Amino acid sequence: MRPSPFFRYVIGSFIQLAPGAPMQRVIWRAKQLVPSITGRQPYEVPVYRLDNEHWDCYYEHELHAALPPK
């Protein structure tokens, strides 16, 4: 069995911040360490930067695929 990839979206993917919102392109992605709410070790989560003139990074759970996968 192949392990699932860490990142859901590749650079160049079109995504939306909300269903029906304008499409934006992923231009950068990285792993961010976040603290555990149970007090255990921090863990890595995927974050993305979009081509929307902001320096904000977005967590993967905040994004929606704008185009269906091929």
pLDDT in tens, 16-49: 999 889 999 999 999 999 998 887 899 999 999 9
Query: What's the alpha-carbon Rg for the chain, to the nearest Å?
Result: 13
User: How long is the chain?
Assistant: 70
d(CA 42, CA 60): 17
Average pLDDT of the chain, as a whole number: 89
| CA distances to 1, 14, 15, 37, 42 from 63, in Å | 27, 10, 6, 22, 22
Q: Are 48 and 29 in contact (CB under 8 A)?
A: yes
Per-residue confidence band for 58, with pLDDT thresholds at 50, 70 and 90: very high
pLDDT confidence of residue 6: 92
pLDDT confidence of residue 1: 64
pTM over 0.75: yes
